Amino acid sequence: MNKKWKIYEVDENKIKAIQEKYPINPLLATILVNRNIIEEEQIRLFLEPTRKDFHNPFLMTDMKKAVERLIQAIKKQEKVTIYGDYDVDGITSITVLKSFLQDRGLEVDSYIPNRLEEGYGLNQQAIEKIAQKGCQLMITVDCGISAIEEINYANSLGIETIVTDHHEPGKELPQALAIIDNKRKDSQYPFRELAGVGVVFKLIQAMGIVLSLKEEEYLKYLDIVCVGTISDIVPLIDENRVIAKLGLRLIRQTRNMGLRSIIQSSGYSKIDSNSISFGIAPRINACGRMGKAEEALALLLSKNTNQVEELTKRLNQHNQIRQETEKSIFDNAIKQIEEEHLEKNNAIIVGGENWHHGVIGIVSSKITEMYFKPSILLSFEEDGIGKGSGRSIPGFDLHEALMKCIDTIEKFGGHSMAVGITIKKENFLSFREEFEKITAEAHIDEIIPVLQVDSKIDLKDVNKDMVESLKQLEPFGEGNRMPVFVFKHLKIDSIRALSEGKHLKLTLKDNNTMINSIGFNLGHLAEEYRIGDKIDVVGVLEINSFNGIDSLQINMKDMMKSLSSN
């Protein structure tokens, strides 16, 4: 697939100005300029944030009201329930708030809806169960902002509700005692992109201030807050960067037995945003996807060695089942695509019998990434109803497109890049045909993926110190991607496909300088290039540690044959 390489224009004056203020190399200064981090305070906050860089929690709407109500609950020893979501953000949110309140002497219950049976958010049956236990106060975490009817129902049962959420509110807000959500239109808070667990952190920070606690009493949870923040793919800028940067330091020496056990079992030796995203998060999320979210919560709350060991094993088992289920669905979907030549369509829509609801969203993401086309996967049950997930590409609003298909859809929800959808099996082919027309009219085939390149680098200038210096930009994630570079006019010294043709391994040469290069999921290019070809490569610079030996390598994102003018 052709990709467009877009290289930032270099502003030498800004780069020199940064180097005069900070002792960093030109490449690091270039990346900061590319990300518009040019003021002295901006640079300090980005490179060296401290605990003093958190915003005032009382700038959040309803924070004072929520804190007063919770302190009242502690004093009166009321029955309190935390209602959360089944993903990493929700589970870490419950962990932090429940642990903090228990440290204040208040025993609290928690409730996580079963993903497979109840779905996302509050529901009346759950609230009824909570009421039967004598609950007087319910606190929602990572959900609740759109639960108008459910919170009205809670009110009718004598349950007061504090909503903490980070999702977009609708035109109407719930009739809750307090609603803490920085995406409220009346919010004065200077940062609106906190994860759900970030909002919970601000709540316990505010309580800590009012109760005159030592900072450590709420800062000690930054390891768990960091895990939830990075896992929820919110932009790692501003206060999220402070959380992630400080939280990663704490994770490396975490006292949370469950978190420490997950890290050890994941096999990652280095603790960074990558090990959280690909080691910790999938294991916690697997519980929710398999309908076992309470086991992940129990692990993060446990202080019993034997229980931690047993629950860690269960998490790994759930994750293994999730991986196997995901692979099975992916293989079935690819088979359909190839047999029906759906890759020629503008959008890829496939369905299967009894595909697992908890993982089809992941498979849809993989198919969209693989073909760079919107995709929708549907699981058809025995009653003839198909429920599924869809993912889109930048430049195509999936939610808006589905609005034009309401005659063939039962219901759907989501946003421009991701949706959940329900369709009758009898309408499947009609829907696919209708949606294909809409994507054709949107000229999907003209949307080209863009690779944003930070800088052109000569291979002779690459050294270990340069690559090590890029670590100052960590943690990487949404809103702070790993820097990408272009290397031009390199000669292929060796080339081969790995993993049954899936990946590509190269040795590249520029005069007397050589470097290894790995291209994940680029194995298909092995047949297009030969030893001796001159190529341009876009990729990430990294240090590969193997058998105790460190070597520099390029993690390729794309490659093309060099033009003779290079």
If one counts the domains in the chain, the total is: 3
Asked if the structure places residue 165 within a domain, the reply is yes
Residues 521 and 556 placed together within one structural domain of the fold? yes
Look at residues 431, 446, 461 and tell me which one is the last residue of a structural domain.
446
Asked if 427 and 494 sit in the same domain, the reply is no
In-domain check, residue 33:
no
C-alpha closest to that of 242 among 281, 279, 187, 201: 201
The residue segments making up the domain with residue 465 are 453-561
Residue 365 belongs to some domain of the structure: yes
Query: Does the residue 212 lie in any domain?
Result: yes
Q: Is residue 480 in some structural domain?
A: yes
Give yes or no: residues 473 and 401 share one domain. no
Same domain, 470 and 387: no
Residues 532 and 427 in one domain: no
Residues 536 and 389 in one domain: no
Report the alpha-carbon distance of residue 544 to residue 534 in Å, rounded.
24
Task: Name residue 475's beta-bridge partners.
Answer: none
Is 242 a member of any domain? no
Which of 221, 236, 262 terminates a domain? The answer is 221
Of 446, 481, 509, the residue that ends a domain is: 446
Position 23 in a domain: no
Whether residue 481 sits in one domain with residue 355: no
Distance (Å, whole) CA 260 – CA 274: 16
Show Cβ contacts of residue 143 under 8 Å, excluding neighbours closer than 6 positions. Answer: 83, 84, 85, 90, 120, 121, 122, 165, 167, 196
CATH code of the domain in which 158 resides: 3.90.1640.30
Nearest to 35 by CA among 354, 484, 350, 337: 484
- Do 391 and 471 fall into the same domain? no
Residues 115, 97, single domain; the answer is yes
Indicate whether 538 and 440 sit together in one domain.
no
Note the pTM of the prediction, 2 decimals.
0.90
Domain CATH number, residue 408: 3.10.310.30
pLDDT in tens, the chain (566 residues): 578 999 998 889 999 999 988 888 999 999 999 999 999 899 999 999 999 999 999 999 999 999 999 999 999 999 999 999 999 999 999 999 999 999 999 999 999 998 888 878 899 999 999 999 999 999 999 999 989 999 999 999 999 999 999 988 888 999 999 999 999 999 999 999 999 999 999 999 999 999 999 999 999 999 999 999 999 988 999 999 999 999 999 999 999 999 999 999 998 888 999 999 999 999 999 999 889 999 999 999 999 999 999 999 999 999 999 999 999 999 999 999 999 999 999 999 999 998 998 899 999 999 999 899 999 999 998 888 999 999 999 999 999 999 999 899 998 887 788 888 999 999 999 999 999 999 999 998 888 889 999 999 999 999 999 999 999 999 999 889 999 999 999 999 999 999 888 899 999 999 889 999 999 989 988 989 999 999 999 999 999 887 778 899 999 999 999 986 44
Query: Nearest CA to 234 among 292, 172, 298, 182?
Result: 182
